[in-house]
Amino acid sequence: MRPISYSRVADVGTAIGTVSADPESAFLAGGTTQVDLMRIYVEQPRRLVDINDLPLTRVEELPDGGLRLGGLARMSDVAEEPAVVRRYPMVAEALLMGASPQLRNMATVAGNLMQRVRCSYFRDVAAGCNKRAPGTGCSALDGINRGHAVLGTSECCIATHPSDVAVALVALDAVVQTEGPAGRRSIPIDDFFLLPGQTPEREHPLTHGELVTGIDLPPLPVAATSRYVKIRDRESYEFALAAVAVAMSVAGGRITEIRLALGGVATKPWRARAAERVLDGAPADTDSFTRAAEAELASAVPHGMNAFKIELTRRTMVRALAEMAQREGTA
């Protein structure tokens, strides 16, 4: 790791002012991405601004009936928050299926959205990687790409977005609250994650020094019947090969409301809108679920070793939807 200087700040204004004034600085939250990437020279800031003392750690009720997750709320705390567990179970489940108990005690929800990809070439400074070093090519295209994306890829980058909770947040149309040198803004979460396109180095629309202060969950009754299904190489402490966040309402055998997003298979947390269109109003049966999965995956592009993910995702979608429908039907 390169030498760094360190500042610990106690208020939002100083945090933003300090980082935005120094192009070679970065925020330090839980450090589980930041320290890791600095140690392997993938990120090389000269100064860290520790934001752990900022008063942004709580989960609060919003006037409209939604919930605000403080940007610095720890994954472990949010996952056990009764209002989250009761009203947005898939958010709690996605958090608990991520990383490990120790990492979740450290990691913040804002940091989770900001985590970088796990592509092994991105993490190897000797390898060509358009995301880490624009213009150096993508080593994963013809390389070890078993974990890479089949949706949202470009010829520049095929890395999977690694977050679990972001998948649930995308399904819910959460809103990212930020504050930066230019003021505050509210960013719909689907706009917060950028497709790689020709500029894989740009992953989000934040400016340098712009702080994620919170994540708002809208009031959504359907979210109370939701779940997160995660398939991985081992049972725990592993990133997703395929994951599904689903919230569903069923009445009289038909789907009356559906929210669906995919993880582990796309370059951004993937809202499955094509599948939602098929499911909306359709009978809650295997035939609809299969057609929905196939509609979503029609645009999937395999890259050698990750071709299995298309079938895996289809099956995971059908299973998640069927289990959800069964639970809803018998509820």
Partner 1 sequence: MKSYQAIRTAPAPDSAVVRGPGEVAVRLRVNGETRTMSVEPRVSLLDALRDRLELTGTKKGCNQGACGACTVWVDRRRVLACLTLAISCENREVATIEGLAEGDTLHPMQQAFLDADAFQCGYCTPGQLMSAVALLAEGHAGDDAEIREWMSGNICRCAAYPHIRAAIRRVRDEQGGSGAAD
List contacts with ligand FAD (CB under 6 A).
Answer: 26-34, 36, 71, 98-99, 103, 106-108, 110-112, 114-115, 162-165, 211-212, 239
CB of 118 to ligand FAD, least distance (A): 8
Nearer to ligand FAD, 36 or 173 (CB): 36
The binder of 27, among ligand FAD, ligand SF4, partner 1, none, by C-beta within 5 to 8 A per type, is: ligand FAD
CB proximity list for 316: less than 8 A, separation 6 or greater: 229, 231, 242, 243, 244
Closest C-alpha among 178, 172, 193 to residue 248? 172
Task: Copy the structure tokens of residue 263.
Answer: 């993880």
State the number of binding residues for ligand SF4 (CB under 6 A): 14
CB proximity list for 326: less than 8 A, separation 6 or greater: none
The binder of 89, among ligand SF4, ligand FAD, partner 1, none, by C-beta within 5 to 8 A per type, is: none
Task: Copy the structure tokens of residue 276.
Answer: 């939602």
The binder of 46, among partner 1, ligand SF4, ligand FAD, none, by C-beta within 5 to 8 A per type, is: partner 1
| Contact residue for ligand SF4 among 19, 28, 158, 317 (CB under 6 A) | 158
The binder of 138, among ligand SF4, partner 1, ligand FAD, none, by C-beta within 5 to 8 A per type, is: ligand SF4
Binding mask of the shown chain, residues 193 to 232, with x at each position contacting partner 1 by CB under 8 A: ------------x---x-----------------------
DSSP readout, 101-149? HHHHHH-BHHHHHHPPP--TTTT-TTS-BTTTSTTS-BTTTTS--TTS-
Strands (E), the chain: 5-8, 25-28, 47-50, 59-61, 67-70, 175-180, 183-188, 211-217, 226-231, 242-251, 254-263, 270-271
11 binds partner 1 (CB under 8 A): yes
CB half-sphere exposure, 18, CA atoms < 13 A? 21
Cα gap 242→158, rounded to integer Å: 15
Provide the binding-site residues for partner 1, judged by CB under 8 A.
1-9, 11-14, 16-18, 20-22, 28, 30-32, 35-36, 38-40, 46-50, 52, 76, 99-103, 105-106, 179-188, 191, 205, 209, 235-237
